[in-house]
Structure 1
Amino acid sequence: MSQMIGKRLLSSVPLLFFIALVAFSLVKLAPGDPVQTFVTPNMSPEDVARIRASLGLDLPLYMQFWIWLKNLLQGNMGFSLMNHRPVLDLVVERIPATAGLMGVSIVLALVMAIPLGLLAGANRNKWIDKLLNLISYVGISIPTFWLSMLLIYLFALKLNLLPSMGMRTIGVESTADVIKHGILPCIVLAFGFLSVYIRYVRSSTIGQLKEDYVQLQYAYGSSRWTILLRHVLKNVLLPIITLLGMALPDLITGAIVTETVFSWPGLGSMMVTAVFQFDYPIIMGVTIFSSLLLIIGNLLADLLYSAVDPRIRNGR
């Protein structure tokens, strides 16, 4: 097991380097110039050139990448061009808001998707299956920003039940206030995850019900729900483990659109602001951080696979 972990970690090094190289090149080659943010009409060309040199933007592209990579290996993600603060500090400050929002949404989606997916798979082509399929298709197809605006219009403007934006009410420092602000964005995110998870659980349930061990349990006189909960559920959870591993970077960057619409002070909204302001240190910092989480998520998924499925553990 330790050898497998070591090999995976070593293989992730060139992968992260390739991701960093591609992301840095795309950011630098994209239209726009961050220097223009600091330029005023009264500035001379010499002043503009001095600003460009102070930011290190007058160097060749490969030199800029080398300096950024060397700083990254030393634990320095650089300084934000707009906020003039270390990128690592900004990322650490925003992580709790995004991780809390996404974590609650994923947990809610899982708690609802597993029983609903089992129910749909066990009643294939019946009315309950068709209804859940319809809900899943709607959740997968509906744009996130549109659903967000719809909920804001209904619950914040019309019914005046929930706040429409932000994480806290000005002057109010309480957990209940944070929860109240997070209800609408959590509903939007959880609905999207729920729609995908139901489809996976349903498909896996249908496949497991065709296996020989299910027919054997029927021959022993076991009821359908006993088979579903005691035997099928264990195998249905395997693809969910993969989904959870893939969802780990979503804890950081998965709420970009939702955070922007609801003005939630997380990494997603900071990433959008950085893109519009050409703040490439923040863009690169969040990109590398999310890529690292994706690699860790895949590794954790493999480890959980080994813990849950004895066949994989014995094979290794």
Structure 2
Amino acid sequence: MRQMIIRRLLQTIPLLFFVSIVCFAMIKLAPGDPVLSFVTPNMHADDIERIRHNLGLDRPAYIQYLLWLKQLLQGDLGYSLVNHQPVLGQIIDRLPATAGLMGSAILIAVLLAIPLGLIAGANRNRWIDKIINLIAYIGISVPLFWLAILLIYIFAIKLSLLPSMGMRTIGEESIGDVLRHGILPCSVLAFGFLAGYVRYIRSSTIGQLKEDYVQIQYAFGSNKWTILFRHVIKHVLLPIITLLGMSMGDLVAGAIVTETVFSWPGIGSLGMTAVRGMDYPIIMGITLFSSLLLILGNLAADILYAIVDPRMKVKG
């Protein structure tokens, strides 16, 4: 396993290099100009060109990329073109907010999906299965931004129960206040993943209930719920580990949408602000961070799969 981990980590380097080239090319091909963030109506053309020169944007695109890559190899992600703050520092400052939102959403989604999926699979085509399936289909079909707006309208505007934006109330530093602000964005992000996990667990449960070991447990006098939550669950959880690793990309994308709608001060909202201002150092830094998170998520899933089921040999 150690060799596999080392090999996978080494494969990360050329992959991130390729991602950086594609991302930089897309930024340069996209319409927009970061210099426009500094332009005022009465600014002279010479002043605009001076700003462009100071930002290094008057050089050819490949020179700009090579200079950025040189900084990256020195452990420096550069500085924002808009606020002139270190990119790495801004990502680190916003990382706890994003990590808390993503971690809570995944935890809630998994903890709810396991019993719901098991119950739906054990009661195939019955009324409870149809209700759970209906919820799952809604979760798969509804866009996250629409669900976020709907929850804001109901719980923040109409009922005035929960805050609609931000992470803290001004002047309030309690953990409870952060939790109240996190209920809506966390619920929106978790709901999309909950739907997919429920469908997956339901399908696995239906297959496992046809296996011989289930009939043997019935012969020993075990009831349905004991078999379901003591024996079937062990086999159902194995594919979920892989599914978690594969869903890291969707989790990052969902976090970007959710943070933007709820003004959650995480990496996602930072990235959207950078896109609007064509701030390519921040866009590049967030893209590389997201790509690394996806790669490490899949690697962790493979390792956990091998630990949970020693019969499986991990291959790089």
- Both structures adopt the same fold (TM-score exceeding 0.5): yes
Q: What letter corresponds to residue 312 of structure 1 in structure 2? A: M
Distance 1:253 1:182 in 2: 18
Q: What letter corresponds to residue 189 of structure 2 in structure 1? A: L
Partner of 1:148: 148
State the shift of 1:212 in Å: 2.9
Distance 2:301 2:8 in 1: 12
State the shift of 1:213 in Å: 2.6
Partner of 1:303: 303
Distance 2:129 2:208 in 1: 16
Q: Does 1:239 align with 2:239?
A: yes
How big is each residue's C-alpha offset from its partner over 1:46-84, in whole Å with a ceiling of 9 and x where there is no partner?
Answer: 222221121111121211111111111211111111121
Partner of 1:119: 119
Partner of 1:67: 67
Q: Does 1:223 align with 2:238?
A: no
CA RMSD of aligned residues (A): 1.8
Q: Does 1:192 align with 2:192?
A: yes
**Aligned 8 A contact 2:4 2:315 in 1:** no
The alpha-carbon distance between structure 1 residues 88 and 249, as it changes in their structure 2 partners (threshold 3 A), is: farther
Partner of 2:158: 158
Normalising by structure 2, we get a TM-score of: 0.94
The alpha-carbon distance between structure 1 residues 314 and 17, as it changes in their structure 2 partners (threshold 3 A), is: closer
Partner of 2:214: 214
Partner of 2:18: 18
Alignment of 1:1-316 (within 5 A): 1-248=1-248, 254-313=254-313
State the shift of 1:202 in Å: 0.8
Q: What letter corresponds to residue 69 of structure 1 in structure 2? A: L
The alpha-carbon distance between structure 1 residues 314 and 156, as it changes in their structure 2 partners (threshold 3 A), is: closer
**Aligned 8 A contact 2:271 2:286 in 1:** yes
Distance 1:123 1:62 in 2: 60
Q: What letter corresponds to residue 102 of structure 2 in structure 1? A: M
State the shift of 1:217 in Å: 2.9
Q: What letter corresponds to residue 73 of structure 2 in structure 1? A: L
How big is each residue's C-alpha offset from its partner over 1:178-226, in whole Å with a ceiling of 9 and x where there is no partner?
Answer: 1111111122112112111111111111122222332333344332222
Moved more, 252-261 or 129-138: 252-261
- Identity across the alignment (%): 68
**Aligned 8 A contact 1:148 1:258 in 2:** yes
**SS of the counterpart of 2:4?**
helix
State the shift of 1:314 in Å: 8.8
Q: What letter corresponds to residue 115 of structure 1 in structure 2? A: P
Distance 1:312 1:265 in 2: 41
Normalising by structure 1, we get a TM-score of: 0.94
State the shift of 1:163 in Å: 1.3
Listed as ranges, the gaps of 5+ residues in structure 2 are: none
Q: What letter corresponds to residue 106 of structure 1 in structure 2? A: I
**Aligned 8 A contact 2:303 2:314 in 1:** no
